[in-house]
Chains A and B, each alone.
Chain A
Amino acid sequence: MTVIRELASVCKSKNAGPFEVTIDVIFKSDELFERVLATGILNAALFARLYKVDESQVLFMPYPPARAFKATLPRLIPAGAFDDRDVYGAQQHAPILEVDIPD
């Protein structure tokens, strides 16, 4: 098992408007991307569990041209509203870094 932190070249989060956050994981090579894709570990259910939302609220897609996986999901608090902690949504990627991918 290897964690995504050691396999990915980019793992980032950012607002997609004030009510959603979008998370992108990008791999270093086509081969690695295909391998991770084949495991099926990155999927809507995983993002739903890690980000505490219903699976039906997760828009998930692999994007081969960028060797990327993309998930867009609702924020728990709208950007900049009372008790928000990350107005830009730029620091919500960490839980994905620790996801294990089988060798």
Chain B
Amino acid sequence: MNATRDKTSPGEVRLLAVTSILGYGFPESALEIGMQADPHMIGADAGSTDPGPYYLGAGVPFCSRLSIKRDTRLMLLAAVPRGIPVVISTCGGAGGEPHLQFMAELVREIAREEKLDFKLALIHAEQDKGFIKQQLAAGKVKPASRRPALTVEQVDGAERIVALMGPEPFERALENGAQVILAGRATDPSIWAAGVARGGLPPEMGWYAGKMLECGAEPAAPKRDGCLLARVYQDYIDLEPTNPEQSCTRLSVANFALHENPSAIHHYEPGGMLDTSACSFEQLTDRIVRVRGMKWVPADVYTVKMEGVQRMGYRAISMLATRDPVLIKGIDDYLLRVRAIVDEKSRNFGVPEGGYKLSIRSYGLNGVMGEREPRTTTTAHELSFILEVLAPTQEVANAVIAIARTTTLHADFPGRMCKEGNMGIPFSPADVELGASYEFTVYHIVDAEDPYHLFPIEYLDVTQGATAEVKGQP
């Protein structure tokens, strides 16, 4: 028996989600109020695929080190001295190995600065391509999101592949006495499902609590930064925001079931499916909602989702805007002419045909929705453009963006009155290198065989920032 288990009063588990994404921030007062409830575990998920493929590919977080350190420091200071476990999943935003190491280093730095001692568990989620190819050959990989089947070329071509762990590795690390757990990619609710399972409550309670806690105080209204406290029992869950400006209402909680899920009622997770179709919502107090009726349908095969990205080339962009009414009227023809000139001039300096891609986003026209924009005309008095070039090397991307920018600035058009330039260019330098460009190519579900072996756990004793490996634990 360890401290975590001892504090679990029979039939109740209290979990505190500190923020929606580690590094987004939360009021210190909301954390303090949450800690007064004496939670059995506090945590946050640190990531998402929402910011796009770059961060997984490049191995960097999408929040700043400064903001992540601020949130993490407050969590460690609130929980470690009281022996309450701190669990952070999808470290560094994408949960690959460099992302996990980034967080491990940051946590050691905080331990040194704040003179904290704790047992640290690191749970890895970056995947070996060999196992994936073996499962692919055995027919044990299927697409997610109604995508095409995975190919060996996509596995080989991926810059990095992570798998999304379920609750089991977290449960094991908690069982082994880890006080701070940093994990690579996990499904958003997994850490909470683990916390509830540790308290001996059924899986549907853990997964539902997790679905509510995965974005901090998002299930509360009005929208504020804050923490969310879940009190989980045998057959219901009470949800309460700790920011006094916020309340959970039946509607705010029910609405959150829609969030980022393809379905409002079926949520697929490692090892099964959470069915919320029979959930009922009771307004317990003006700030607390009680939910019951969730079901867990175990799967026959233990599967996990994988995410992987491929480097597609290098990008550069440039931003320009016009205030010329004649140009705006004939903008479609003008942009076609720009493309033709860029093509010709790029070939002249040695870029082969098809050796780059140029996108022109026209803001004020269809910049946000592109092909899905229902409006075909504009009454705007100014239009802005973002030119984007993708090419096999940064050198070619830079060269083509420069000629595209110059051409958009200076090309002729019928009725032109201002021959000094067609665009206001807001910056010098005008062009921005975006570096390597990635695309999600692996978004598939693999038969994991068991919940643990894809997610090895490493234990370290942190003594005011110094670490020593703990050997001999699973």
Contacts and interface: CB of A to CB of B under 8 A. Distances in A.
A14 B259 contact: yes
B49 A17 contact: yes
Most A CB contacts (10 A, CB to CB) among B51, B54, B145, B361 go to B145
Interface string A53-88: 000010101010111101010101111111111111
Contacts of B262: 16-17, 20, 22, 59, 72
Contact of A18 (B52, B263, B264, B265): B52
Nearest to A19: B145
B145 A17 contact: yes
Nearest to B361: A85
B260 A22 contact: yes
B379 to A, nearest CB: 16
A68 B258 CA distance: 9
B84 to A, nearest CB: 32
B207 to A, nearest CB: 18
Given A61-B264, A82-B359, A19 B258 contact: no
Given A18-B53, A81-B312, A63 B258 contact: yes
A37 B257 CA distance: 19
Contact of A82 (B145, B257, B260, B357): B357
13 contacts: A14-B260, A15-B260, A17-B49, A18-B49, A18-B440, A57-B146, A65-B257, A70-B264, A79-B50, A79-B440, A82-B315, A85-B369, A95-B374
Given A16-B260, A86-B368, A66 B374 contact: no
A80 B440 contact: yes
Contacts of B281: 65
Given A82-B312, A87-B50, A76 B261 contact: no
Nearest to A50: B374
Interface of A: 10, 14-20, 22, 24, 26, 50-52, 57, 59, 61, 63, 65-68, 70, 72, 74, 76-88, 91-92, 94-95, 98
Q: Which 4 A-B pairs have the closest CB atoms?
A: A80-B52, A66-B254, A63-B264, A83-B359
Contacts of B49: 15, 17-18, 79
A24 B374 CA distance: 19
Nearest to B313: A82
Residue among A50, A67, A77, A83 having the largest count of chain B Cβ atoms under 10 Å: A83
Interface string B48-75: 0111111000000000000000000000
B440 A70 contact: no
Interface of B: 49-54, 144-147, 251, 254-255, 257-265, 279-281, 312, 315, 357, 359, 361, 367-372, 374, 388, 390, 437-440, 443
B189 to A, nearest CB: 15
A63 B259 CA distance: 12
Given A52-B371, A66-B258, A76-B370, 12 more contacts: A10-B255, A17-B49, A63-B265, A68-B264, A76-B371, A82-B359, A84-B52, A86-B369, A87-B51, A92-B369, A94-B369, A95-B372
A88 B260 CA distance: 10
A87 B49 CA distance: 10
A20 B263 CA distance: 12
B237 to A, nearest CB: 15
A77 to B, nearest CB: 8
Contacts of B372: 50-52, 76, 92, 95
Given A61-B263, A79-B50, A88-B50, A22 B147 contact: no
B43 to A, nearest CB: 23
Contact of B368 (A20, A80, A85): A85
Q: Which of B255, B312, B390 has the most CB of A within 10 A?
A: B255
